[in-house]
Structure 1
């Protein structure tokens, strides 16, 4: 098979400068780069020791040191990767050391800070100001101005809110109290988002980094190619499936675009898909990784911690919507392939999915163990620790197994290694550490062992680098959460939404959606979710929407914000690979991602779509019949929308057929009396007349 087109690094006209992510580059081979590489490994090691419970540090200390490592690494790393002049690099190191110093100050002064809580010393206030200043600078340097400006507005509201008119005015707070609230304790930058970043998120990022290094991307791609590469529009279907698989372990939409998209976008273009459509498919599928169980991106962990529920409850609520989301994207590329006459690849040029699984079946074991533990009620931290430990043992054992003389001995070796990993439940982390130490020693002497050790070392460093934007975003949005707890301003906005919702729930939902999409202009999904859920979540709950459904509502539209213009971060990340304008890609992504816009609204009116109790439908016909009914109705609405957007089903649609399909789709989505009956009737009318017209057109004259 001809090799796919090599993507260019040039950004097309219309893409913003922020498309280029310096963190996507490797650590430079300079002396400074080696120092940063060592800091990254130390960061990951600290997080692993913390997750395993070997350090025994208080939660507040873990959070402060976590943020300190983020500051120490991000400033000099950005300056080095951007090839800044020496004076800028020196300033970056100073800022990084200050940031780490703040974390160490909270470590050293942990008990005294607790004893004088609410009555800080002048030095505490100075340290607090430094921590906030360094955090704002780091966020600006890494993510641009949008998030620092929004968080700065909330911080200013704490300081000068008493000068605003009613009902937005506050009682006024002294400077030292605001700084103490934001910089110390667990209400500001060291709040729940930072706790989740310092525990679950970092661990799962390392988990994904090790699996990617072990060849998980190749496994997913080979399986996807073997399953659907021969079908109509096969290359685009490969993009949807492989990106969905990758989303299961990475949970990062933009990261999926720049990794999986390097293969899938050129492949789609090579077989006839328009560049904008190819980029839109990859962006849509990659962003869907954040709603794909079991990992679901970092937001799911924050959601579970915020709501005080088990992680598996969040996963269960996301299962049906995730399936529908990827089915929608799959359907869109199938229709586009039919419209343009694009066929799949010859079977003899495709990899065998069975051979791919036979060669790398062991890579699925950590993921399977993770799913089992999460659904068995274990905490994400415990499940992630087990998953990571199994992955590390598999990677370290891979080169050892290859050195064994026959297949039987290899199977025995893997079974024995699996028993050791399973003994973690009885003997604790030390049995895994001992096994890992033995494997490291053996790898020093077997063929390929040194490369395996280098891969593990590089995965530690890459994991720490990948965690930088997530960790920094979690820290700075703590200012917004802290503002809510200090001033209670969320109640004002919530009352406004509730007042609208009493007269029209749909208007409240639209207002919340617009808020999510506007905040998503340059803000990652995590802070977007935290801001909107803090403000709008309680208001939607007051309107009778189940708590988990209301949080999933803002979560979904936080994801969609990365696909909608004018920013559309995932689409602009795909732009240099597709060699197309990011805005054109965004317009195609919106068409493909219909489910992402439809599902949240339908779940509000029929919570059974997210396997949640409540709603008139479940009360009238029962819970499980309601689940079946709403899934069928949603699937039909999405199918009709895809047909209307693409303009093709069995044959090309006439203009009036597209209008009919659109009206039928929206009738099924709307939650008003007899809208479902109208939608089903119009759907029957559309399919009946279209199939008849297609049959007539196919008959010879």
Structure 2
């Protein structure tokens, strides 16, 4: 028998780390400098979150253990959280695709950008001068003409000039990957100038003046500049979709007074609106609250799993357990992506992380390019609905609803299982139709070797156990992070100081995208909150419900999907929850059910054509047509479009009922999912199903999914008839083939 490599090294190590087209690849001292900056940014979050006290997400302070005399107030913590991401993001991601040649054509632009550094530094210096005056006892009143003059001409005008000018220059600066660009350095300084001003002013009584004529003029100016910076970084790291949506919402604030009917809004000045936008009613609201705590915590956890190679074990275990089954790599994708996806905050990010390995292997065993990409996209998207983390969605839901996290995680178990069972059936039936095999024995790690290293699951076990034992999310996450480093000492990949620094560096870079999109989503949430459009949408749903409750739910589904398109999960849910969930609750839908409903459709927007981020990411790896992959992933993940309605009509699926009701609902729902998968794929009990049987199977599935005793009986009867018809057709075909 030939020797095989250590199962810890099979086979995830072979997947190259993807690099964005505008991502910089520094070398030498510059690389070390920014690596340490990213590592310090992530490490400071972990230190702050585990400080001497965390006095809630709205108000109170976060005390740094190494600076106990300098408590960071909650708003300040979020402002610095966004500012750090802006600085790192502008340095590490260019405003356009990189040029691989010499810098030649960019020199003139660099000189112009260097000139813009002067007003940026003036604006930053002005905030320091303001802080010195306020600390000296000066009353900072927005009605003071002298203060207004200084804020306008020493801070506001230089800041806007540097911000707008540098953004425009960055679009044309095609510097090589290995160097920084002057426009981006200026933008980083502008980000810190905005943060410095807001931290200074929000430390005074002027915080209470937001949205009133007494607010200093610097507040709305800082918010305008901050919004532009956030939207530009979001464009760089997540594309235009979310930026366009945010721009439309911002335009709506000022166009709304001229629109008819339900879209009409009261007139508001730009000063009043923007002075409120960069507060907990908007950018510093729930989305940034969660990104600055739970999301970055689990990004650090994921980075530690990666750096310690413990995360590789999860994927390799899936290969050992499922790789031999027919269509093995596809089933591996389901398990691996489900496990890693619940930690990762984006469906597309999870596709890139695991799909770079699983998609080529799926193609190798016979799956079409579109199908291979679609399976990975559907599985990675499902990871976002898998408890206990749900891609941080569970924590956002707890933050928004006030429902205990443990209750949300428990309620989401059956719906998540239904989704993954459906994807598994879809994959298995597809493999059966194509006569696929599994992977060869010598291509896989030995299962018994994997079992001997089952202790590497300890970080996940500790995380789940700590959460359900009542530990705070931050404490549980920190224990899991520490355990990932500890268990690495039982493997050849021991984490030392250097590896820990690499993990923090990776976490800092990974966090940039999700922080940017959460802050950009905060702009949308702020518009919804400050214009009252959410309440008007609720009235629209109530009107539809008078005609048909199902129609109202269907309309809510469409809006949630549309709002979620082009966004990572957390941002998609936060926006949809602001618009759609209140309307559903007004209809009488229980709060948890309404938010689960919205959350599912915000998540599956990642595999819904025409804007399906997860499907597009998978298509890029598989080499398939993006739209074809989107349609295929929609088909494979079709159960996710049905589960929310199942939950609405059958609360037992959310563990709301007696034990008998819950068990019966779960069993019949799984049976319905099996029949639905069989009907969609056209395969049942060892053979292709005739078209009439396919229709009958889908009808039977819908009966069983509904959940009532009468419909369950009807569903079983229809399923029996479909199976009988299939057997009859198969018998006739055999008789014709072998007379």
| 1:290-689 aligned within 5 A | 290-347=384-441, 349-359=443-453, 361-395=454-488, 397-398=489-490, 452-611=496-655, 613=656, 623-649=658-684, 650-669=686-705, 675-689=711-725
Aligned partner of 2:73 among 49, 55, 58: 58
Aligned partner of 1:37 among 35, 38, 44: 35
Q: CA deviation at 1:126?
A: 2.4
Q: CA deviation at 1:69?
A: 0.5
Aligned to 1:106: 198
The whole-number CA distance in structure 2 between the counterparts of 1:516 and 1:599 is 15
The verdict on how the C-alpha distance between 1:150 and 1:345 changes in structure 2, with shifts beyond 3 A counting, is closer
User: C-alpha deviations, 1:516-536, integer Å up to 9, x for none?
Assistant: 222233222222212221111
The whole-number CA distance in structure 2 between the counterparts of 1:481 and 1:273 is 41
> Which stretch of the first structure deviates more once superposed, 582-591 or 552-561?
582-591
Aligned partner of 2:336 among 239, 242, 247: 242
> Which stretch of the first structure deviates more once superposed, 511-520 or 599-608?
511-520
**When the two structures are superposed, what TM-score results if normalisation uses the length of structure 2?**
0.80
Q: Does structure 1 retain, via aligned residues, the 8 Å contact 2:94–2:236?
A: no
Q: CA deviation at 1:272?
A: 1.4
Q: CA deviation at 1:26?
A: 7.8
Q: CA deviation at 1:258?
A: 1.3
Q: CA deviation at 1:48?
A: 1.2
User: C-alpha deviations, 1:673-693, integer Å up to 9, x for none?
Assistant: 955443222112112343565
Q: CA deviation at 1:296?
A: 1.0
User: C-alpha deviations, 1:403-451, integer Å up to 9, x for none?
Assistant: xxxxxxxxxxxxxxxxxxxxxxxxxxxxxxxxxxxxxxxxxxxxx87x8
The whole-number CA distance in structure 2 between the counterparts of 1:309 and 1:5 is 38
The verdict on how the C-alpha distance between 1:675 and 1:288 changes in structure 2, with shifts beyond 3 A counting, is same
Q: CA deviation at 1:100?
A: 2.1
Matched, 1:77 2:92: yes
The verdict on how the C-alpha distance between 1:452 and 1:353 changes in structure 2, with shifts beyond 3 A counting, is farther
The whole-number CA distance in structure 1 between the counterparts of 2:625 and 2:12 is 18
The whole-number CA distance in structure 2 between the counterparts of 1:398 and 1:593 is 38
The verdict on how the C-alpha distance between 1:628 and 1:398 changes in structure 2, with shifts beyond 3 A counting, is closer
Q: Does structure 2 retain, via aligned residues, the 8 Å contact 1:217–1:260?
A: no
**Structure 1 unaligned spans of 5+:** 10-18, 403-447
Aligned to 2:135: none
- Which SS does the other structure have where 2:607 is aligned? coil
Q: CA deviation at 1:695?
A: 6.9
Q: CA deviation at 1:182?
A: 0.5
| 1:270-309 aligned within 5 A | 270-309=364-403
Matched, 1:221 2:315: yes
The verdict on how the C-alpha distance between 1:353 and 1:117 changes in structure 2, with shifts beyond 3 A counting, is farther
The verdict on how the C-alpha distance between 1:117 and 1:637 changes in structure 2, with shifts beyond 3 A counting, is same
Q: Does structure 2 retain, via aligned residues, the 8 Å contact 1:222–1:352?
A: no
Q: Does structure 1 retain, via aligned residues, the 8 Å contact 2:459–2:484?
A: yes
User: C-alpha deviations, 1:41-90, integer Å up to 9, x for none?
Assistant: 12112211111115231111110000001110111211199436643321
The whole-number CA distance in structure 2 between the counterparts of 1:502 and 1:138 is 43
Aligned partner of 1:192 among 258, 261, 286: 286
User: C-alpha deviations, 1:228-250, integer Å up to 9, x for none?
Assistant: 22222222211211212222432
- Which SS does the other structure have where 1:57 is aligned? strand
Aligned to 2:240: 145
- Which SS does the other structure have where 2:642 is aligned? helix
Q: CA deviation at 1:461?
A: 1.4
Q: Does structure 2 retain, via aligned residues, the 8 Å contact 1:219–1:357?
A: no
Q: Does structure 1 retain, via aligned residues, the 8 Å contact 2:683–2:689?
A: yes
Aligned to 1:124: 219
For the aligned residue pairs, the C-alpha RMSD in angstroms reads: 2.9
Q: Does structure 2 retain, via aligned residues, the 8 Å contact 1:147–1:523?
A: yes
- Which SS does the other structure have where 2:683 is aligned? coil
> Which stretch of the first structure deviates more once superposed, 138-147 or 307-316?
138-147
Q: Does structure 1 retain, via aligned residues, the 8 Å contact 2:391–2:569?
A: no
Aligned to 1:91: 183
